[in-house]
Structure 1
Amino acid sequence: MRALAAWGVLIVLSAMLFGLLEWADLPAAMLIGTMVAGIVVGVRGGKISVSPLAFGAAQSMVGCLIAASLTPAILPVFMAEWHLFVLSILATVAASSALGWMISRWKVLPGTVGVWGSAPGAATAMVLMAGAFGADQRLVAFMQYLRVIMVSVGAALVARLWVDTGDVALPDPVWFPPLDPHGFGLTLGVAVAGTVIGWIVRLPSPHFLGPLVLGSIAHLAFGLELQIPHWLMMLSFAVVGWAIGLQFRSETLRHAARALPQVVLSILALMVFCGAIAFVLAHEMGIDPLTAYLATSPGGMDTVAIIAAATHSVDVSFVMTMQALRFVFVLVMGPSIARAVARLVKT
């Protein structure tokens, strides 16, 4: 397959899959759609790849996006019931780490893929950082995005069975909003400066972590607003999806297919474990059961936010505080935990 034809097939197939996933209301439609399109083209012999410069720029935008999504509003809710949040988050991370250890120990997937792929949140961040620590990004992405889909669908089904959530959905995004010169300029500056600082201090995945750290400081400590327009966010997701998907080859796909039953079981086990935590919170602490379930749902934060907002009985602040704190914990501690579990796998 010639390069020009391969790029044409990739773009058309990506657009079709994105439209289909958006129509089905599945989370991370652009990221998953472009990754699947990349897998198809890569496995079918398309000899194309995303340039390192484009992949690095896309990672820096994802870092800025995550930094902009963090908010100090969770602090008062956390302080009121900090022990519930801490215990729930630690229990979830411990369970996911144990599942990752078993997947790696039993060689369901090669190397430390199981450890990185089992992290209960921050899917894109875990995929980007896994490559910097020597894990196979393709298979980590396979595990992470399968979990995102299963958890999101599970949360939607539980909420639908519990109460009628109606037809509430997020408003249609504005693809080309007016650009704020200060916010957009700050975003570009954070992306470039963060990447440079990341390289200087030798951060793993400097394109991603450098802008994330610098953007978080600018946003949380100094109250500066980053602007990432929707078109740039979607383009960045597309580049990340293509960069990962185009690396797939037939043998990688066979690995993923062979491991699919075990990976699905591990995700279901984590969902059941988190459901048990929700049961304890509801039974022992008097928290609304649906609030507890959505708060402890291991990932799918965007979908959980929509469901929580659509259900009047749910304590949205509790749900989003739990989700955001676990996201930040996994983001900050994920690499250290993954390395520690990986060492246990090798012993």
Structure 2
Amino acid sequence: MPRAASLALPALPAPAQWVALILAAGLAGQLFSAAHVPAALFLGPMLVAIGFGVAGASIRLPKALFQLGQGTVGVMIAHAMSLSVLLMVLQDWHIMLLGTLLTVSLSAVVGLVLVRYAGIPSHTAAWGTSPGAASVMVAMSEDHGADPRVVATMQYVRVVLVVMVGALVSHWLGASVGGAQLQASASQAQGLNLTDIALSLAVIGAGVWLGSRLPAGVLLVPLLLGTALQLSGVLQIALPGWLVAFGYGAIGCYVGLRFDRPTVLYVWRHLPMMLLASLLLIALCALSAWLIAVWLDKDYLSVYLATSPGGLDAMAIIAIDTHADVGFVLAMQTLRLFGVILTGSFLARQVIRWSGRP
């Protein structure tokens, strides 16, 4: 046997494949972070894992690790649920509810367009266009029978477009978008208390165990449990950088390793329609933001970032850099995230029913 063939990925023993995957995924995540790529710790490992899957790797990430990744993301969201955010929601609940309903409804319309004209299965199209945190939607789509590979592609194509368009809109409106805040997140390890870290890990473990038999429970139960404990003062959620990297990396590798050559060809054929659908959703949300801004007599940039169908983290970073109303942006994005998590399965069923294509 030629030496090159003996070193081919499928021929390597499983431990060697795991070592190669972990090293390559970690390196890709760090390179993407250094380049300020949105969701770098998810995208880097996912792209590496796709390469491994297409190359014929025999390893698969255990679902238990995937679930722990979901639980970590849930506790990360709980970290953002401060009392000031909840008070903002209570104060302007009717406006935020309207904005949330508009964005979610528009995403369902775009999902129908993809089903009708791109031939993407309705369940996958519904989750792929859902305007929640991308990694959350990918994780939930797996629990509800959609194809997480295609959902991940649709979600992260939109994330990149939303960030690019958000930067352009900020520039056109006279704000400057910088990169100083791109590394700021709940995962900062400076000054973390070991007791809080241990309690946060316990919340993740207990939440995943309690929610393992509920639809999307491994995400929702840690989210709700972490939020309740943090707001009650029992703990301050503390997530070190390695844990955040594990959460995103586990979800990314689980999804990426399931890609094979037929799946890549399928995604490539539908990529133009995915791009058009993402731009359509961004444009419709921008129009609804203009209507809400006029109605409230509020600055357009803050409302645009609050209603934009991008991730909560990315929109909060842009809001900080452009001196927009960060509280308003974070509150509406958080409310929408909860709304999508709680109604995602229902909306997916409606897209299936309206499209007439199970």
TM-score, structure 1 length as denominator? 0.90
The question of whether the paired residues in 2 share the 8 Å contact of 1:165 and 1:310 is answered with yes
AA aligned opposite 1:153:
M
- Name the residue aligned to 1:212: 223
Which moved further from structure 2: 179-188 or 163-172? Answer: 163-172
After superposition, the C-alpha distances for 1:200-246 in whole angstroms (9 at most, x for unaligned) are xx302443233223223222355532221111111221111111101
1:180 partnered with 2:193: yes
Shift of 1:109: 1.8
* Mapping of residues 57-136 of structure 1, within 5 Å: 57-106=68-117, 108-136=119-147
Shift of 1:132: 1.3
1:170 maps to which of 171, 176, 181: 181
Distance (Å, rounded) in 1 between the aligned partners of 2:93 and 2:220: 27
Q: Percent identity?
A: 36
2:44 maps to which of 25, 33, 47: 33
- Name the residue aligned to 1:342: 352
Which moved further from structure 2: 303-312 or 139-148? Answer: 303-312
Shift of 1:177: 4.5
Distance (Å, rounded) in 1 between the aligned partners of 2:98 and 2:271: 30
The secondary structure found in structure 1 opposite 2:58 is coil
Shift of 1:10: 2.5
- 4+ aligned runs moved over 4 Å, structure 1: 171-179
The question of whether the paired residues in 1 share the 8 Å contact of 2:188 and 2:239 is answered with no
Distance (Å, rounded) in 2 between the aligned partners of 1:177 and 1:80: 33
After superposition, the C-alpha distances for 1:171-190 in whole angstroms (9 at most, x for unaligned) are 75686556524312222222
Q: Structure 1 residues 27 and 46 mapped into 2: Cα distance closer, same or farther (>3 Å)?
A: same
2:341 maps to which of 312, 331, 339: 331
Q: Structure 1 residues 133 and 6 mapped into 2: Cα distance closer, same or farther (>3 Å)?
A: same
The question of whether the paired residues in 2 share the 8 Å contact of 1:116 and 1:338 is answered with yes
The secondary structure found in structure 2 opposite 1:160 is helix
The question of whether the paired residues in 2 share the 8 Å contact of 1:203 and 1:209 is answered with no
Q: CA RMSD in A?
A: 2.3
Distance (Å, rounded) in 1 between the aligned partners of 2:182 and 2:150: 33
1:147 partnered with 2:151: no
Distance (Å, rounded) in 1 between the aligned partners of 2:319 and 2:73: 25
TM-score, structure 2 length as denominator? 0.88
In structure 1, the gaps of 5 or more residues are none
1:56 partnered with 2:67: yes
AA aligned opposite 2:332:
M
Distance (Å, rounded) in 2 between the aligned partners of 1:267 and 1:166: 22
AA aligned opposite 1:316:
V
- Name the residue aligned to 2:22: 11
- Name the residue aligned to 1:291: 302
2:329 maps to which of 308, 319, 335: 319
Shift of 1:128: 1.0
Distance (Å, rounded) in 2 between the aligned partners of 1:250 and 1:277: 39
Shift of 1:288: 1.2
The question of whether the paired residues in 2 share the 8 Å contact of 1:59 and 1:208 is answered with yes
Shift of 1:112: 1.0
Which moved further from structure 2: 92-101 or 60-69? Answer: 60-69
1:308 partnered with 2:308: no
2:292 maps to which of 281, 292, 300: 281
The secondary structure found in structure 2 opposite 1:73 is helix
Q: Structure 1 residues 85 and 111 mapped into 2: Cα distance closer, same or farther (>3 Å)?
A: closer
1:192 maps to which of 187, 198, 205: 205
AA aligned opposite 1:116:
W
Shift of 1:93: 0.5
Distance (Å, rounded) in 2 between the aligned partners of 1:236 and 1:12: 16
Shift of 1:111: 4.7
Which moved further from structure 2: 14-23 or 297-306? Answer: 14-23
Shift of 1:79: 3.7
Q: Structure 1 residues 108 and 187 mapped into 2: Cα distance closer, same or farther (>3 Å)?
A: same
- How many residues align? The count is 344
Distance (Å, rounded) in 2 between the aligned partners of 1:205 and 1:283: 37
Distance (Å, rounded) in 1 between the aligned partners of 2:314 and 2:219: 24
